Structure 1
Amino acid sequence: MLSIKAIPRKNPQDGTVASKFYAHAISQGIVDFERLAYLVSNQCTVRVPDCLAVLRALEFNMMDELEQGKVVQFGDLGNFQIGVRSEGQTLEEEVSANTVTSAHVNFRPAKRLRKMLKNLDYKLISTSTL
């Protein structure tokens, strides 16, 4: 179950309008590689250090493949791909590596993950309990 809370947000285009409240997902903590390795090791015959080694290798290889411009398909989780932001140019010939201002990771969830997202259960947390 995903915990949410109501947070106020002002309209950036009209500062005179009263704030509206929107649902905001609340983090329930962080799961690091060590915890993931422990969880995986409890579901199979592989030991924690072996799981941790695989996760570290996966991390390294995903970053390497992304750097080479490839889309990394991550099973039922989805696809990762690098995208870029750049300065707009009048002519196509003016576009170069120098016009790139930043890079980011695009993530496209796979069908199974999209289905999970549609079927989430929510629990409203009072702001006084945080």
Structure 2
Amino acid sequence: MAIKFKTLPRLNPQDMEAPQKYYASSIGNGETDMEALAEMIAYQSTLTDTDCYAVLRSLEHNIINELKQGRIVKLGSLGNFQVSISAKGQENAEDVTANDIVKSRILFRPGKKLRNLLLNLSYQKAG
């Protein structure tokens, strides 16, 4: 199985006058939702798909709650989730307030097994 990609033209954002270049861009190959994951896990265990789905929903709920409290959520070899922020700079440390925060996002840092997955992927141009 290979990851499919298409070719897209892009301009250089640092030099808008430069000619565009073409880059490979991955193409999604469908989706797998929590219900499908629960069914897969149930097939590989002694649990029912309903039990597995309940555990996955609980995992989602608890990850959200832990991130809201500023915690890093470590999921073993799967990886870590953490909230990250971007803020406007101030001249003095005492002038920095929560109002300076302009954006927040959730970072995911893959664990070793997921990073190793990237080393062994193959690619195929869609066409």
- Residues 82-123 of structure 1: CA deviation (Å, up to 9, x unaligned): 001111111111111121122100111111111111211111
Structure-1 residue corresponding to 2:73: 72
Aligned residues: 126
TM-score by length of 1: 0.91
Residue 93 of structure 1 corresponds to 94
Structure 2: distance between partners of 1:87 and 1:15: 27
Percent of paired sites with the same residue:
43
Match of 2:14 in 1: 13
SS of residue paired to 2:89: coil
Letter aligned with residue 106 of structure 1: L
- 2:45 maps to which residue? 44
CA separation in 2, counterparts of 1:11 and 1:2?
A: 26
SS of the residue aligned with 2:94?
Answer: helix
Give the distance between the partners of 1:13 and 1:70, measured in 2 at CA: 36
CA distance, structure 2, for counterparts of residue 106 and residue 60 of structure 1: 17
Q: Post-superposition shift, 1:17?
A: 2.1
TM-score by length of 2: 0.93
In structure 2, the gaps of 5 or more residues are: none
Residue 117 of structure 1 aligns to a residue in which SS? Answer: helix
1:24 Cα offset (Å): 0.5
